[in-house]
Amino acid sequence: MTPQHIAIVMDGNGRWATKRFLPRLAGHRQGMESLRRCIRACLDRGVAVLTVFAFSSENWNRPADEVSGLMELLASALGKEVPQLLKDGARLHFVGERAGLSDKLRKGLEQAELATAANSRLILNVCFNYGGRWDIAQAAASLAAQGRAITEVSLHQAMAMSHVPDPDLIIRTGGELRLSNFLLWQAAYAELFFSDKLWPDFDEAELDRAIAEFTRRERRYGKTSDQLAPVANGQKVA
Ligand code: IPE
Ligand code: IPE
Ligand code: MG
């Protein structure tokens, strides 16, 4: 079965560029192309939710020119990509802390969200200035400020990703085997797929490889295999 919600750590842009003796920003620009292709592929495959990690809470620690380049890339993508997303029926959500972003960028994010708010074919969450720890902490702080009890349900509801179900499949490109502060809470029962491809090289074939691997996994949620076997007429089907 196709995963309903796919989340991706789009890693490897810098190495893609360095291998070609290009500036890292050229890798990020090529990464945008790859994202465009990935959105198309998810639309074609009937994926309901695509969540991508575009800029982490920790990415501020990169050289200033790379950080400002990434901010500009997002700002220019807003203008360029929204018309196509509108046509495709994709609804944009930006997930992350807005406080650290410029007023202009914040406005741009809000406008893009508003412009696509009536769409429902694909929900596209772009995690920008996002960290899983930030989300858990901000959710707990908002509950505390309202004097509400902190439970798994209330925390989930207060989180920035509460508008979508948890990811079924998390893909990380670029060969690193870690989450780097992505969807820490929501990853609880996600299937993980690590690809050696650098993000700009991630294509439909690699997405299909991840989906095929996902369909072979048995999601037990703590149960045993036997408990999951389909039952017909009171008899377990072999
Ligand atoms: C991921 O690519 C994009 C961002 C973190 C913004 P990287 O820039 O981390 O690429 P590598 O890991 O250095 O190759
Ligand atoms: C994770 O990649 C963040 C994004 C893809 C936006 P990083 O390149 O920042 O992760 P680390 O530093 O290798 O863990
Ligand atoms: Mg990286």
Q: 56 CB less than 6 Å from ligand 2?
A: yes
For the CA of 24, the nearest atom of ligand 1: 8
Q: β-pairing, 231-232 with 235-236?
A: antiparallel
Q: pLDDT tens, 187-232?
A: 999 999 999 999 999 999 999 999 999 999 999 999 999 999 876 6
Taking CA atoms only, the protein residue closest to ligand 2 atom 3 is 56
DSSP state string for 33-100 = HHHHHHHHHHHHTT-SEEEEEEEEGGGGGS-HHHHHHHHHHHHHHHHHHHHHHHHHTEEEEEES--TT
Q: How many CB atoms sit inside 10 A of residue 221's CB? A: 8
The answer to whether the pTM exceeds 0.85 is yes
- Indicate the top mutation candidate among 32, 51, 53, 56 to test ligand 2's pocket, ranked by most ligand atoms within 8 A of CB: 56
Q: How many CB atoms sit inside 10 A of residue 179's CB? A: 16
Q: How many CB atoms sit inside 10 A of residue 94's CB? A: 24
CA atoms of 125 and 12, how far apart (whole Å)? 20
What is 5-236's CATH topology?
Undecaprenyl pyrophosphate synthetase (3.40.1180)
For the CA of 11, the nearest atom of ligand 2: 5
Supply the pLDDT for residue 230.
75
For the CA of 9, the nearest atom of ligand 1: 1
Supply the pLDDT for residue 231.
65
Res 237 pLDDT > 90: no
CA–centroid distance, residue 198 to ligand 3 (Å)? 9
User: What mean pLDDT is predicted for residues 108-128?
Assistant: 98
Q: pLDDT tens, 63-79?
A: 999 999 999 999 999 99
Q: Which residues are catalytic?
A: 11, 59
Site of tokens 């691997």: 213
Q: Nearest-CA neighbor of 8 among 153, 155, 228, 168? A: 168
Residues in the chain, overall count: 238
CA–centroid distance, residue 4 to ligand 3 (Å)? 26
